[in-house]
Homo-oligomer: A and B are copies of this chain.
């Protein structure tokens, strides 16, 4: 067989041991917090029926879904279809529906909705679930954007209580603080406030255009937003009305007070203010660790989806896009025939969090370490001598390796360094005779002579 120069498909990645342990640190930290708040893990298949996914992400999204070729003789199926249907033309679109019936999941949300509908009779509602799995998108790969990446979501369905909204702030605060971030902001908004503003200027039907524009305030500034609103057929009067609202400053309470007076004529807008206020009231009963919470009425994020709270999380320590986001949606499962089930959820951007922790040097020194001690025999006799020590250390739950006899000590120490193993025990003939083994601390370079029992005691201390 000719040898192939191996590579991975573009936009995909291998994760080596050190990367894996860092990723596990992130996921384990977040999962522990999800569990602490009552969220339970589920997993759904990597493949969904194409019909489950198509039409859920817009026309652009449909194109980015990875389709799986039917196994068996798909071409025969295609030819049969053509023979039976006069005028049927082969093209990529018409063929796809014949030769593919499954696809890789594009996000965790639609499969979750499908899951809830399929399992509704066995689920205890309100259903608090979390899910950490890869998703696939046929996007053009670029720095920081992958074709396979992990999503890390928590959602509760079947509970309208705003306590859930408050708890998601606590979850972000606790998880990101536990990860070591020191300064980050959880921005919160409410779709009903955005609706209220659109009503106020008599543009309820153009709420999407309006929010797409004002969402860009921190990127393009007020002049940019003004220009974009004019291009989208908002009048100068509209803009004069909107301007003071989107420029609101002060504490969250001050902003809320201003909004209440501005939006007094909009029942929807007032409802939004009420909801946000209730969330803030809940939060007053809790002590946040490190998060700042900020009412940001320019925040929109996939607006068509959300019906209540909208979240976005940003670190203030490095330049980076949002590291989390989410919101409330009132009809997640409607697309699968289960109406009126309200939900609210958040997501952590694991890849970006990885980059932030890396840049701030926040990964604990122990990530990447796995084996705690390597036993290095000088020869076959040393190897045999080492076997009982090896078992005793493992029985004491110390991750231990014995380097097989036959390699020079230098090579064995290089191995320990390569694997970031903090201790080695060296066993030569002197050591075997005296029973005093050489324990070396690989970081400090110090070395001491200890009995096997003393070594076990030291490493299990």
Contact = CB atoms under 8 A, between A and B. Distances in A.
A16 interface: yes
B161 A406 contact: yes
A92 B66 contact: no
Interface in A70-87: 71-76
Contacts of A104: 46, 68
Contacts of A76: 92
Contacts of A14: 42-45, 115, 118-119
A379 interface: no
Given A49-B8, A400-B38, A415-B124, A68 B69 contact: yes
Interface in A394-440: 394, 397-402, 404-406, 414-415, 418-419
Interface in A363-410: 370-371, 374, 383-384, 387-388, 391, 394, 397-402, 404-406
Contacts of A282: 387
Nearest to A43: B15
A129 interface: yes
Contacts of A418: 124
B8 A45 contact: yes
B42 A5 contact: no
| Interface residues on chain A, size class | 35 or more
A236 interface: no
Contacts of A401: 37-38, 128
A336 to B, nearest CB: 5
Interface string A33-71: 001111011111111110110010000000110111101
A6 B286 contact: no
A239 interface: no
A148 interface: yes
A144 interface: no
A130 B131 CA distance: 23
Interface stretch (A93-101, A198-206, A223-231, A348-356): A93-101
A102 interface: yes
Given A69-B100, A371-B38, A391 B336 contact: no
A80 to B, nearest CB: 13
A51 B42 CA distance: 33
A136 interface: yes
Interface stretch (A17-25, A212-220, A259-267, A445-453): A17-25
A71 B75 contact: no
Contact of A36 (B9, B285, B374, B397): B397
A354 B103 CA distance: 27
A41 B66 contact: no
A461 interface: no
A305 interface: no
A15 B42 contact: yes
A3 interface: yes
B73 A92 contact: yes
B48 A20 contact: no
A117 B8 CA distance: 12
Given A3-B336, A14-B115, A41-B24, A387 B164 contact: no
Nearest to A16: B42
A251 interface: no
A71 B91 CA distance: 13
Contact of A20 (B43, B118, B119, B370): B43
A7 B51 CA distance: 10
Contacts of A115: 14
A287 interface: yes
Contact of A118 (B6, B174, B337, B384): B6
B4 A335 contact: yes
15 contacts: A17-B41, A20-B42, A35-B399, A37-B400, A40-B419, A46-B104, A46-B148, A66-B69, A68-B69, A69-B96, A73-B92, A75-B95, A124-B414, A161-B405, A286-B391
Interface of A: 1, 3-9, 12-17, 20-21, 24, 35-38, 40-49, 51-52, 55, 63-64, 66-69, 71-76, 90-92, 95-96, 99-102, 104, 114-115, 117-119, 122, 124, 126, 128-129, 134, 136, 138, 147-148, 159, 161, 163-164, 174, 282, 285-287, 334-337, 370-371, 374, 383-384, 387-388, 391, 394, 397-402, 404-406, 414-415, 418-419
